[in-house]
Amino acid sequence: MAKSPREQIERLRDEIRRHDRLYYVQAAPEISDREYDKLMARLRHLEAEHPEWMSPDSPSQRVGGEPIDGFEHVTHALPMLSVDNTYDEAQLREFDERVRKQLGGEPYRYVVDPKVDGVAVAVTYDKGLLTLAATRGDGVTGDDVTHNVRTIRSVPLRLTGDDVPDLLDVRGEVYWPTESFRQFNEQRLAAGDPVFANPRNATAGTLKQLDPNKVADRGLRFVAHGFGRVEPLPVDSAFELLGRFEAW
């Protein structure tokens, strides 16, 4: 029995989301770029024929629309604190001693992950749908960069799983992988344009582009390592929550 156009649209969306995850998150693509482009072209064709079934979380809606006039300010529901640093073993041991004292002898373990040099961003999901992305700013107020973060393929427009919280404020870094940055600079050099000095500053400048179409081809990525509000909170430790991030 032939599937209805709506069923075909949903099937294509699910298939493209799966391939996005395989390529951008798991680094294990199953199909070629050409095959992927064919899937996307078919989806866009069906959505154009049936605009009543268009959805903001469709993979076809990552890039599009007119440039915005400017950035709105966003107040974070919970402050985004900056990450402290140290280059001194003694300071690290002092930190551990403070943790030990404050826990009053309770056993504890640390979660350690690599520091990615990018731009701190909070991404908010309401009932599994991406509704807001904002820079850290001064920790209390940041800039609404949703239109640009939607173009980043490693950021899902819709979370997957049966235990997705009603509200998820996931925090992490938007960064420019070294190889993608190098290739983009080579293109600028060949065109006679000035090259970018370093990936971190270039990432910050890219997120401030008013036209999302100019962001989409730069190959930015996102890595989640923290959180603000999570309602309901399904786990008891940061390590467990990071595991849920991976699944969602």
Strand partners, 158: 129
Catalytic residue among 101, 115, 208, 214: 115
Pick from 188, 171, 178, 174: which is nearest to 224 by CA? Answer: 171
Strand ranges (E), 107-247: 119-126, 129-135, 141-143, 167-175, 221-231
Q: How far is 142 from 188, CA to CA, in rounded Å? A: 30
Distance from chain centroid for Cα 50: 29
Residue 115 falls in the annotated catalytic set:
yes
Distances (CA, A) of 228 to 21, 187, 207: 24, 38, 21
Catalytically active residues are 115
